[in-house]
């Protein structure tokens, strides 16, 4: 593993070779435009002072570790609720967050929250979200992992212009799952999500509610990501900049501490990073009981010491802190490069501060997944990051840059398909995300997937040279939906394609 991880670190390092020095939020109409912008902001040209090299990430200097308490994102209250739906009103606006001690950091927010708020939904009960965009850019609000009609999917070209309001309707016609919503405006999504446009969306149902899992204050949504700061505490966004993002944030705080009771907790982990992969472990190698993944609970819990999360993936994990004495602490670590291990190798610290009763339990059977059924069609999808001397890097799927006017895969409504997704790069990691469906992983590199990938997934990691076989059933809505690499700097470079269900 160490060797493989080193290789990925090196890969991310090469992937970071081209820096696009965009510091303003303007659409890069094409990769060529972005390249031209980069060419015009080389050090020593007439780039404005604001675009000067901010130096290495100042986060590790500005933020002592394990000092700030990890906040929980606010849970949104509906503005109205009736027999038909719960309605929420959300405003996208510029705000500031107290991320680093003594500094105010400008961020982009849903309702002023960094990271974004939590919306709680129930299967079968629709949620309507009225989104108002008070930012300077167009946006697109995508509910990642949800089964929604095209009009509310928040695809890359389905924009909500600056100053405009629109309504997204989520039927929640799917089982419980820990989803998230984030910006998806093509070419802007990467910077928008980096600056804060991401929130949590939790669907529950009777199956989940009947289980004696840790709940309420013992059920913590935790969004993990990296970031880069300048010495003034401002977020620095450069495209394809993984090496410099060495500050780890959990719910928007650098390396926070989390006070817990000596009992079981459910941790809903989300990797909301643009590029960073996490390989999470308790510092003592203690057990992590994984109970869920992107599309809800696994059929059976899986006890492990490591949880891997690529950008966009979620893992639902139960940790029993009663194995630690009250007064002790345990660090959650990350072994995935790039970056100095003293910074990126640490994520947050649990401080066990009190005893507590614990009526919760992790049952041996959590749910039953529907049978897969027969697939009617097989396809291969090839993901590739391409760097050529003198040109901006390209994100390719099947050799092509994303074109919203092109349909890359025609799928017959009601059918099930098997896709083999291949990472053609030998030194760059990717992952693969399909909108609309929760799929099943049939194989990874020709072998059966591990238990962490035995449930419903909407995003799978593809380390250099890896391939994943997955099966999806397209039986909910017709229309055009994207599929893409969820390393958002890659999808912004074009590593995205489109299927059409007819």
Residues that bind ligand C2O (CB under 6 A): 142, 144, 182, 184, 312, 433, 435, 482, 484, 486
Does residue 461 bind Cu ion (CB under 5 A)? no
What's the closest the beta carbon of residue 38 comes to ligand C2O, in angstroms? 25
Does residue 435 bind Cu ion (CB under 5 A)? yes
Does residue 409 bind Cu ion (CB under 5 A)? no
* Closer to ligand C2O by Cβ: residue 367 or 484: 484
Does residue 276 bind Cu ion (CB under 5 A)? no
138 binds, among ligand C2O, Cu ion, none (CB under 5 to 8 A by kind): none
Does residue 302 bind Cu ion (CB under 5 A)? no
Residue 218 CA to residue 260 CA, distance in Å, equals 9
What's the closest the beta carbon of residue 54 comes to ligand C2O, in angstroms? 28
Q: Which stretch binds Cu ion (CB under 5 A): 12-20, 79-87, 293-301, 482-490?
A: 482-490
457 binds, among ligand C2O, Cu ion, none (CB under 5 to 8 A by kind): none
DSSP assigned state of 447: B
Among 99, 456, 487, 488, binds Cu ion (CB under 5 A): 487
484 binds, among ligand C2O, Cu ion, none (CB under 5 to 8 A by kind): ligand C2O
User: CB within 8 A of 204, min separation 6: which ones?
Assistant: 120, 121, 122, 123, 176
* Closer to ligand C2O by Cβ: residue 68 or 421: 421
What's the closest the beta carbon of residue 254 comes to ligand C2O, in angstroms? 24
* Closer to Cu ion by Cβ: residue 264 or 435: 435
Residue 311 CA to residue 276 CA, distance in Å, equals 6
Both structure tokens of 339: 């970056």
Does residue 485 bind Cu ion (CB under 5 A)? yes
Which of these, 104, 124, 108, lies nearest to 116 by C-alpha position?
108
DSSP 223-259: EEEEE-B-TTS-B---BT-GGG--EEEETTEES-EEE
Cis peptide upstream of residue 262 (ω within 30 degrees of 0): no
* Closer to ligand C2O by Cβ: residue 302 or 433: 433
Q: How would you label 128-163 residue by residue, b for 16+ Cβ within 10 Å and e otherwise?
A: bbebebebebbbbbbbbbbbbebebbbbbebbbeee
Residue 131 CA to residue 58 CA, distance in Å, equals 34
Q: Which stretch binds Cu ion (CB under 5 A): 128-136, 140-148, 154-162, 276-284?
A: 140-148
485 binds, among ligand C2O, Cu ion, none (CB under 5 to 8 A by kind): Cu ion
Residue 1 CA to residue 18 CA, distance in Å, equals 28
Does residue 366 bind Cu ion (CB under 5 A)? no
What is the number of the residue whose Cβ is closest to ligand C2O?
144
What backbone phi and psi angles, to 5 degrees, belong to 283?
A: -60, -30
- Percent helix, strand, coil in the chain, to 5, is 15, 40, 45
């Amino acid at each position: 593993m160490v060797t493989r991880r080193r290789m990925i670190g090196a890969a991310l390092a090469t992937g970071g070779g081209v820096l696009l020095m965009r510091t303003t939020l303007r659409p890069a109409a094409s990769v060529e435009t972005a390249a031209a912008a980069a060419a015009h902001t080389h050090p020593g040209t007439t780039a404005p002072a604001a675009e000067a090299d901010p130096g290495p990430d100042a986060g590790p200097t500005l933020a002592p570790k394990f000092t700030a308490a990890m906040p929980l994102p606010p849970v949104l209250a509906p503005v109205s609720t009736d027999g038909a739906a719960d309605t929420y009103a959300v405003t996208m606006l510029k705000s500031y967050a107290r991320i680093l001690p003594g500094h105010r950091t400008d961020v982009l927010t849903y309702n002023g929250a960094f990271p974004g708020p939590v919306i709680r939904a129930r299967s079968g009960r629709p949620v309507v979200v009225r989104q108002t965009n008070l930012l300077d850019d167009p946006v697109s609000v995508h509910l990642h992992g949800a089964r929604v009609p095209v009009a509310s999917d928040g695809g890359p070209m389905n924009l909500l212009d600056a100053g405009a309001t629109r309504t997204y309707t989520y039927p929640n016609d799917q089982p419980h799952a820990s989803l998230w919503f984030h910006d998806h405006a093509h070419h802007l999504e990467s910077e928008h999500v980096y600056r804060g446009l991401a929130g949590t969306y939790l669907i529950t149902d009777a199956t989940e509610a009947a289980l004696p899992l840790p709940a309420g204050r013992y059920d913590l949504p935790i969004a993990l990501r990296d970031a880069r700061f300048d010495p003034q505490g401002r977020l620095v966004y450069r495209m394809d900049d993984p090496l410099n993002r060495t500050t780890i944030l959990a719910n928007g705080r650098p390396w926070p501490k989390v006070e817990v009771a000596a009992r079981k907790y459910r941790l809903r982990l989300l990797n909301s990073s643009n590029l960073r992969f996490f390989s999470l472990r308790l510092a003592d190698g203690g057990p992590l009981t994984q109970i869920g993944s992107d599309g809800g609970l696994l059929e059976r819990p899986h006890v492990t010491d490591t949880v891997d999360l690529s950008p966009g993936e979620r893992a639902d994990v139960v940790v029993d802190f009663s194995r630690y004495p009250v007064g002790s602490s345990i660090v959650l670590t990350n072994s995935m490069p790039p970056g100095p291990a003293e910074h990126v190798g640490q994520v947050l610290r649990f401080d066990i501060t009190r005893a507590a009763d614990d009526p919760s339990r992790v049952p041996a059977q959590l749910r039953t997944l529907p049978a897969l059924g027969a697939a009617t069609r097989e396809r291969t999808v090839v993901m590739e990051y391409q760097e050529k001397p003198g040109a901006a890097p390209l994100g390719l799927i099947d050799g092509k840059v994303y074109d919203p006017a092109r349909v890359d895969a025609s799928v017959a409504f009601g059918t099930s398909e098997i896709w083999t997704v291949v990472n053609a790069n030998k030194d760059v990691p990717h992952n693969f995300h399909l909108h609309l469906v929760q799929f099943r992983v049939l194989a990874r590199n020709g072998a059966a997937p591990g238990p962490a990938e035995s449930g419903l997934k909407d995003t799978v990691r593809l380390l250099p040279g890896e391939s994943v076989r997955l099966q999806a059933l397209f039986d909910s809505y017709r229309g055009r939906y994207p599929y893409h690499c969820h390393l958002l700097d890659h999808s912004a470079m074009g590593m995205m394609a489109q299927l059409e269900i007819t």
